[in-house]
Amino acid sequence: MSITAADVKALRDQTGAGMMDCKKALTESGGDFEKAIDYLRKKGQKVSAQRADREAKQGLIVAKLSGDNKKAVALELNCETDFVARNEEFIANAEAFAELVFNKEPASTEALRALPFEGKTVADKLELLVGKIGEKIDIGRFEIGKIGEKIDIGRFEILKTEGEIISYIHPGSQLAVLVSFEGPLGNAEVGKDVAMQVAAMNPIATNRDEVDQSTLDKELEIAKEQLINEGKPAEIAEKAAQGKLRRFFEERVLLEQKFVKDGGITVAEYLKQNGAPSVKTFRRIQLGEE
């Protein structure tokens, strides 16, 4: 059968594949749109197989926040090169996947890949993108934050109904932060300042009670060894190590960190001075990190 320009455009609109790829797919499938889509998917699978051993360390992170600041999503979409990460279609798909996570709350990236998307599934869409762009493309991870309801997926559980979430994307879209507060902020700039603190200083916990005991034991052991190597007696090193542990909390625990905009106060003091609620929890997503 004759393949018209309108047919090619319709397939391109539906799949996002290139014009020549769409024309070839329609020709090979005898004008059958479903078969043409399968052809393009298989092409994507072939490219995926060829690039399976490639590293997809580039990409971007996008975030979506509800109008009432009660729910937030951050999602990482990976590719091989920064050039592709800046592509408008790549960005649009990342935002569409984040929207899907926001609405459907999948329990894992595997569950996300299986969700319906544009008449197929997210996995199908990824294959089409790989076939069109010629790079390995995949969803790295995502985080969900939701106030007032437990999300039983081992991610971002927030139980206080009066809280609020702030999202922050660092320029370049390679770092995202979600911060939940224990009450309404009133001043969004204060929330943004705390999110930027998390982005800049990379704390490991909100408060010292959240720090894993094995981490504390390791830090104490390192501190004691350092002091003993400096010639301190073991019993003195034991006591002095506690002082080093306090400095560890000041460096790695969010509420005890020095506020980056004013090193004379801690983050907790900054919140108190501005009449803001304390931080409940946070998530920091760095491109390419686990």
Mean pLDDT of the region 168-192: 92
**Model pLDDT for residues 120-167, shown as the tens digit of each residue:** 899 989 988 887 777 888 899 999 888 865 544 444 444 444 689 999
Which CATH code of 3.40.50.1820, 3.40.50.720, 3.30.479.20, 3.40.47.10 fits the domain covering 58-207+256-286?
3.30.479.20
Q: What are phi and psi of 3, to 5 degrees?
A: -100, 115
pLDDT classification of 51: cutoffs 50, 70, 90: low
C-beta atoms surrounding 254 within 10 Å: 24
* Percent residues over pLDDT 70 in the chain: 87
**Model pLDDT for residues 97-120, shown as the tens digit of each residue:** 999 999 999 989 999 999 999 888
Of the two residues 233 and 63, the one the predictor is more confident about is 63
- What dihedral angle (degrees, nearest 10) is formed by the CA atoms of 94, 87, 45, 101? 0
Confidence (pLDDT) at 99: 96
Based on its alpha-carbon atoms, the radius of gyration of the chain, rounded to whole angstroms, reads 24
Mean pLDDT of the region 75-87: 92
- Compute the distance between CA of residue 257 and CA of residue 203 in angstroms, rounded to an integer: 8
Confidence (pLDDT) at 158: 43
What are the structural domain ranges in the chain? Answer: 5-50, 58-207+256-286, 212-252
For residue 273, pLDDT over 60 is answered with yes
- Compute the distance between CA of residue 200 and CA of residue 194 in angstroms, rounded to an integer: 10
- What dihedral angle (degrees, nearest 10) is formed by the CA atoms of 108, 65, 139, 8? 120
Mean pLDDT of the region 202-217: 89
CA angle 81, 86, 87 (to 5 degrees): 100
Confidence (pLDDT) at 152: 43
Compute the mean pLDDT over every residue in the chain, rounded to the nearest whole number. 84
| Across 11-20, 209-218, 257-266, least confident range | 11-20
- Compute the distance between CA of residue 183 and CA of residue 262 in angstroms, rounded to an integer: 24
Any idea which architecture 212-252 has in CATH? Orthogonal Bundle (1.10)
The correct answer on CATH 1.10.8.10 for the domain covering 5-50 is yes
Confidence (pLDDT) at 225: 74
Of the two residues 152 and 257, the one the predictor is more confident about is 257
For residue 197, pLDDT over 90 is answered with yes
pLDDT classification of 38: cutoffs 50, 70, 90: confident
Q: Answer whether 268's CB lies under 8 Å from 277's CB.
A: no
- Compute the distance between CA of residue 186 and CA of residue 240 in angstroms, rounded to an integer: 42
For residue 201, pLDDT over 70 is answered with yes
